[in-house]
Amino acid sequence: MKVATPDSEHSHRYLAEFLDPLTSVLGRSERRVGALRYLQGLLLPGERKSIEPMAQRLGVDSQGLQQFVADSPWDDAALWGEIRCKVIPTLGRLEAWIVDETGWLKQGKDSAGVSHQYCGAVGKQANCQVCVEIAVSDGEIAAPAAGKLYLPEKWCLDSGRLRKAGVPDSIAFKTKPQIAIELLGQMISDCVARAPVLAAAAYLAEFIGGRPQPAACLRLSRSRWHIEQYFQRGKSDLGLDHYEGRSWRGFHHRLVLCALACLSVLSLKQREKKTSGPTWEAVLRLIQPFLLRSTGRRPFCGTIFGLKIEDST
């Protein structure tokens, strides 16, 4: 049976409504335009979502994209706060908060946090970065709500390496469960609706100091698959692990922008759920033709803000 999907004009209007209030936290209009341009690059079809291929598809100078994501001093924490306060409440009743980690395979040793450590993406020790993330689930999907790069202890003992990667002086070593607790605190502060916390045993032991109830684990165990699905879709469709920059700031900027791109698709999917029930893939296919429409090289940004788009961000 053919599944109906929302029309592209409706989707276009919804995306504008969705993104505008969230990116307003970035302040200056050129940063807001830069964010939307970057999101456009993440959502457009293409095998590789690193800076150069995205710039080619967008028809812009790659320096502008690079400057926005790696150097521009906007606050990724503020954008995460907007996500938690304005997007997560629209997803309906939450079944669980899910804590997990994902790895980015890397070459070299200069990218922030890179180390020979366990990488879940390949199921073994590898040269990689590891990020702790929290997603919320309504029982059907997982939506990203918080994330932070894990910095191995040997990194924290090497001041030269920290400076080279632009790690702030305020960052000290924390275990992955400690990072998770920090992120959970942010979610509580932003009044995200409470739900059971699902995590691997290594995390749960530190969260609650004991074993969770077996009945609760049985009922909620399937929800952990939803965050794995988010990681998979984020990497295959949005280039979550395609970032080639090395800095602490660039990593966290890219992380929250990928989360925002994912949420734009999930939110439209949820909005249409009652009438058409489109899949993730169907909604993504619906968005992409609009982004490619030839009303200028960057029609999405111009449509929302009515601004003359400059190449500098």
Evaluate whether residue 141 is within a structural domain: yes
206-235 pLDDT per residue, tens: 564 445 566 556 556 666 677 888 888 888
257-288 pLDDT per residue, tens: 999 999 988 887 777 665 556 676 777 776 66
188-200 pLDDT per residue, tens: 999 999 998 888 8
Evaluate whether residue 36 is within a structural domain: yes
Evaluate whether residue 263 is within a structural domain: yes
Range of weakest confidence among 89-103, 212-226, 243-257:
212-226
What mean pLDDT value characterizes the chain? 81
Evaluate whether residue 47 is within a structural domain: yes
Q: What's the mean pLDDT in 168-183? A: 96
Buried b vs exposed e over 248-275: b needs ≥16 C-beta within 10 Å?
A: bbbbbbbbbbbbbbbbbbbbbbbbbeee
Residue 52: domain span: 8-305
pTM summary value: 0.84
Evaluate whether residue 172 is within a structural domain: yes
Domains in the chain, number: 1
Evaluate whether residue 310 is within a structural domain: no
Whether 4 shows a pLDDT value over 50: the answer reads no
Evaluate whether residue 196 is within a structural domain: yes
Q: Is 311 exposed, middle or buried (0-12, 13-18, 19+ CB in 10 A)?
A: middle
Evaluate whether residue 3 is within a structural domain: no
